[in-house]
Structure 1
Amino acid sequence: MDTTNPNWFLKARLKTRQLLLLIALDDFRNIHRAAEELHMTQPAASKQVKDLEEMLGVKLFERLPRGMEPTLYGETMIRHARMALTSLALAHDDIATLKAGLSGQVEVGVIMTPAMSLLPRAIARVKQEAPLLRIGVQLETSNVLLDKLQRGTLDFMIGRIVDGGSAAAGLIYEELTEEPACAVVRPGHPLLDHPAPTLADIAGRPWILPPHGSILRYRFDMMFRRAGLAPPANVVDTTAMLVITALLQQTDSLHVMPRQVAQYYESLNVMRILPIDLPCTMDAFGIVRQQDHLLSPGAELLLHAVRASAQEIY
């Protein structure tokens, strides 16, 4: 049998029962117990293994006095048998979900900027088509979300792959848009009357900033250093929006944040964007998912809605 042909298993008429037998032999390492588990006779089980070995042209098991041990070829075939049967089980679950009107569960992770408009728009679109679909949203930094994604607790995320190399292994990234930053202040702040504030005008002011170690804080500090200025020293470090908005209301502090987030809060009359173009941007963000993770119909629906909403917004 030519196993280099991608459809060799069709010509060989590979049976699901043979895949189940491989898994049972791996679990029990004994032909008698494996046959009993599948309600087969031992001769029938032996023949199926022999037929499979002849079909592949390799030895799948070593016959030992007290049982059977998979060879390297056997271990490979067993691993793929488990994957194939798992995929079939997921297919059954997906069909049941579709029949039930997409009533499954989707878990998506998101960073702040796409959480303001992109994801809500996508969820609203999905809920029109599948009102029973349960959607869980986790708002975290990209590093936290990447860890959750790789541990399998998220279907996909909208954020950044912060580090390359091992952090990006096995991931698919679809870039959506860049993320410019801006400075914000409370309504009525004295700087809003300034015709054209410069970096020198804002360097010595009190600031509310993301903590050291964050990408935005590093780029914010470097922005001043490149201009020959010392970064602000009068600083409160926090990312908690309740604290940030309260401090902005009660003090003359400034805060740096993604422009799209700032526009949302400006529309609520909570803060104002300072009329200065900051040479400070975050990396682009996008959709991140696991390469080998098969999405459920509900997760696929939300993913398509995110893409469509991104085209409208960005």
Structure 2
Amino acid sequence: MDMLNPNWFLKARLKTRQLLLLIALDDFRNIHRAADELHMTQPAASKQLKDLEEMLDVRLFERLPRGMEPTIYGETMIRHARMALTSLSLAHDDIVALKAGMAGQVEVGVIMAPAMALLPRAIARIKEQAPLLRIGVQLEQSNVLMGKLQHGTLDFMIGRILEKQDSTGLIYEELTEEPACAVVRPGHPLLERTDLALADICSLPWILPPPGSVLRHRFDMMFRREGLAPPVNVVDSTALLFVTALLQQTDALHVLPRDVAEYYASLNVLKLLPIDLPCKMDAFGIIRQQDRILSPGADMLLNAVRAAASELY
């Protein structure tokens, strides 16, 4: 027999019973007691051991007047038999845990941009595999979600770690950075333009995130870098229901993360203005607590988020 074949045990028809016998012989050092333990006859146990020794072409045990002693080959085989059986019992535990996870629950926090495309795609995929998994989704800003994560009310979150936040004990997996774009109502006169520049839009009316927010700061700086004054005809709001309603009734412009804008554009609520804004939010990613072991359900959703991110970004 070719012992170099990595699947030699398949050819040799190695039985789980033989692995159990090796372990029992190691525990009892006596063929009668080992056979009793496995509810076998002593001749059947002897034959199983002899078959295994012939298959491997080595002696696994020295037969002594008072029992048996494993040889160096026997000790190796016993060690591997124990590992193989441990691994199989872990497989059973994993299956039980997965079955529980299929009907368990998971609580996830998410900021606006990944809530538009990434998380819905991941959840749609999970619901095909595990329809009974209860998924709770909380849509908030990163700082609010971070508090919930650290209090243990979220399994994981998709958001940002802000500069002033303490990130000890957290695992952060970056997914993508977040470009911003300008949006207007469908039918807006500027949609016809193909040559728009920042100078054309700085003096127009805008609906913007409030002063002090990261996006507002970067938006204002974008104009200053071009030597322009940031817009002054401004309504401050991030409440999208209100913003979309106001955009329908005015010629105002609004700035949004691109994923969010594309979602609303697909519903024909807004249109993206044909201008590339040199303005980005910080990257966001998956954030979880280092010392928290995820439930099978949360683990499934986490993997679905990773898979969706690799398709989208």
The TM-score bracket by the shorter chain reads: 0.5 to 0.7
| Contact 1:219/1:280, CA 8 A, preserved across alignment | yes
Written as runs of structure 1 = structure 2, the 5 A alignment for 1:80-159 is 98-100=98-100, 102-159=102-159
| Contact 1:97/1:104, CA 8 A, preserved across alignment | no
Structure 1 runs (4+) deviating above 4 angstroms are: 93-97
User: How much has 1:102 moved relative to structure 2?
Assistant: 2.1
Q: Cα deviations across residues 113-157 of structure 1 (Å, max 9, x unaligned)?
A: 111111011111111111111000000111111111111110000
User: How much has 1:194 moved relative to structure 2?
Assistant: 2.2
1:267 aligns with 2:266: yes
Q: Identify if the C-alpha distance between structure 1 residues 131 and 163 changes in structure 2 by more than 3 Å, giving closer, same or farther.
A: same
Consecutive unaligned residues of structure 2, counting only runs of 5 or more, are 1-92
Number of residue pairs matched? 221
Written as runs of structure 1 = structure 2, the 5 A alignment for 1:149-298 is 149-163=149-163, 167-298=166-297
What amino acid is the match of 2:163?
D
Higher Rg: 2
Structure 2 equivalent of residue 70 of structure 1: none
| Contact 1:177/1:286, CA 8 A, preserved across alignment | yes
Secondary structure of 2:235 counterpart: strand
Q: In structure 2, how many angstroms separate the alpha carbons of the residues matched to 1:278 and 1:98? A: 45
Written as runs of structure 1 = structure 2, the 5 A alignment for 1:5-44 is none
What amino acid is the match of 2:217?
Y
| Contact 2:182/2:253, CA 8 A, preserved across alignment | yes
User: How much has 1:94 moved relative to structure 2?
Assistant: 8.7
User: How much has 1:297 moved relative to structure 2?
Assistant: 0.6
| Contact 2:101/2:297, CA 8 A, preserved across alignment | no
1:302 aligns with 2:305: no
User: How much has 1:96 moved relative to structure 2?
Assistant: 6.5
Q: In structure 1, how many angstroms separate the alpha carbons of the residues matched to 2:99 and 2:200? A: 62
Secondary structure of 1:289 counterpart: strand
| Contact 1:103/1:132, CA 8 A, preserved across alignment | yes
Q: Cα deviations across residues 14-35 of structure 1 (Å, max 9, x unaligned)?
A: xxxxxxxxxxxxxxxxxxxxxx
Structure 2 equivalent of residue 52 of structure 1: none
- Structure-1-length-normalised TM-score: 0.68
User: How much has 1:167 moved relative to structure 2?
Assistant: 1.8
| Contact 1:94/1:296, CA 8 A, preserved across alignment | no
Q: In structure 2, how many angstroms separate the alpha carbons of the residues matched to 1:263 and 1:225? A: 27
| Contact 2:110/2:159, CA 8 A, preserved across alignment | yes
Q: Cα deviations across residues 23-72 of structure 1 (Å, max 9, x unaligned)?
A: xxxxxxxxxxxxxxxxxxxxxxxxxxxxxxxxxxxxxxxxxxxxxxxxxx
User: How much has 1:260 moved relative to structure 2?
Assistant: 1.5
What amino acid is the match of 1:105?
Q
Secondary structure of 2:173 counterpart: strand
Consecutive unaligned residues of structure 1, counting only runs of 5 or more, are 1-92
Structure 2 equivalent of residue 72 of structure 1: none
| Contact 1:123/1:305, CA 8 A, preserved across alignment | yes
Secondary structure of 1:270 counterpart: coil
Q: In structure 2, how many angstroms separate the alpha carbons of the residues matched to 1:193 and 1:232? A: 22
Q: In structure 1, how many angstroms separate the alpha carbons of the residues matched to 2:230 and 2:203? A: 8
| Contact 1:104/1:134, CA 8 A, preserved across alignment | yes
User: How much has 1:97 moved relative to structure 2?
Assistant: 5.4
User: How much has 1:95 moved relative to structure 2?
Assistant: 7.8
User: How much has 1:183 moved relative to structure 2?
Assistant: 0.4
Q: Identify if the C-alpha distance between structure 1 residues 294 and 213 changes in structure 2 by more than 3 Å, giving closer, same or farther.
A: same
| Contact 2:203/2:232, CA 8 A, preserved across alignment | yes
Secondary structure of 2:268 counterpart: coil
What amino acid is the match of 2:208?
L
RMSD of aligned alpha carbons: 1.7
User: How much has 1:108 moved relative to structure 2?
Assistant: 0.3
User: How much has 1:184 moved relative to structure 2?
Assistant: 0.5
Q: In structure 2, how many angstroms separate the alpha carbons of the residues matched to 1:213 and 1:168? A: 22
What amino acid is the match of 2:158?
I
Structure 1 equivalent of residue 20 of structure 2: none
Q: Cα deviations across residues 175-227 of structure 1 (Å, max 9, x unaligned)?
A: 11111100011111111122311111111111011111211011001111111
Secondary structure of 1:179 counterpart: strand
| Contact 2:109/2:139, CA 8 A, preserved across alignment | yes
User: What is the percentage of aligned positions where both structures have the same residue?
Assistant: 75
